[in-house]
Structure 1
Amino acid sequence: MNQTQCMIFEILDEEEEEADLESHDLHGITLTDFDTPHTMKATIGSAADGLLLLYPNADDPETSVYICNPVTREYISLCRPKEYNCWSCFQFCASKVSEQYKVVYLGRTLESDSFQVYTLGTGLWRPIETGAASGFKFNSNERAVCNGNLHWIVDDFDQLSIRICGFDAETECFSIFSAPQGFPMDGDVESNVKLTNFRDCLCVCYT
């Protein structure tokens, strides 16, 4: 079987390397490396509490999705939902309450977005209602995990504005909230907006 090697490294802590940060001289320490179970020319990945979600950016619906433990180098494979298409994507999260790991599938078509959830250990995909997120268009490239919950930037076409959608990993419910006060809404904002997690806080960065 063809394989691709992955490497995980850690950027040294800010307080331990203050002098290097001031000189913009960051250092990385290799934690582990491992082989993925297949060749992935374009690999999409996300992490949740020490586990990695990996899947190739491929049109083949038979290509599996993998959950990998980079420390033990063990992995399991998940079949893709039957509705999978090349515009779809997967996200990974872990509930802080039940500690269950969940893979969230975002199915995209020209008409609408739909969601399914795979809880590790159950062996099946379950459709879930979008609820409050119904009618919004998800930007699958701009997402972040904060406190175990998923977040995306979404378009509100009715109000011609950008919102943020949160997915609660425990209740599997969606919520919509506005961007921070003072957020510029003119021009092509979406292409310059990034979501990230900074010290357990959801951050919106824009230029």
Structure 2
Amino acid sequence: MELKSFIFDMDGVIIDSEPFWRQAQISILSKYKVTISIEDCIQYTMGKRIDDVAFTWCQLHSLQLDPKVLEQEIINAVTTLIAEKGEAKPGLYELLDFLKENKYQIALATSSSLPIINAVFKRLSIAQYFEVVCSADEEVYGKPHPAVYLKAAKKLKVSPSNCIVLEDSVTGLIAAKAAAMKTVVIPEDPSDPRFRLADAIFTSMFEVIEFLQ
């Protein structure tokens, strides 16, 4: 079986945006007298869709606040940070060029909303590489549900089993494996035993290129 459809997650894979998400959550919640840590963000919200993120904090801290308000504030803060400071993860352009040169179909399947996707594409100038862009915002369920990955395969007109996914979070890994896709990871914490579910674990996209060669 030849895997010629490559699907990227975005946050923490394409762009080092996880710190922006954490900074935004910590900053916005502090306005509502709620103190959270980076570790809290990793534990409770990493890899999740923004509505799940907002709902989680409202529930955990009994906030008398419409989660939609919190959701929009976090999105606005992250979009601003990406536009000002966003940087591609090491090996991104090299991997994208390798995939193009070797006739891979390239897709994006992310938990992030379209404003975030647009901000990343603009900041990194990479929109032209992607044939298909899927946001979990458009699905009933976000990751770890496989819906966004299954939608990407459908738009690419390929079987999920013919797709290879690059992820960085346990939430995303579960989603991609549930979609029956070959899944490789570049985790923030490679020692987390849950990443053993992946088909391969790497430290950078340069290693992904070697794996595909």
Same-fold status (TM-score > 0.5) = no
If you compute each CA radius of gyration, which structure gives the higher value, 1 or 2? 1
Q: Which has the higher strand share?
A: 1
What TM-score do you get using the length of structure 1 for normalisation? 0.28
What TM-score do you get using the length of structure 2 for normalisation? 0.28
Higher relative contact order by CA 8 Å / sep ≥ 6: 1 or 2?
A: 2
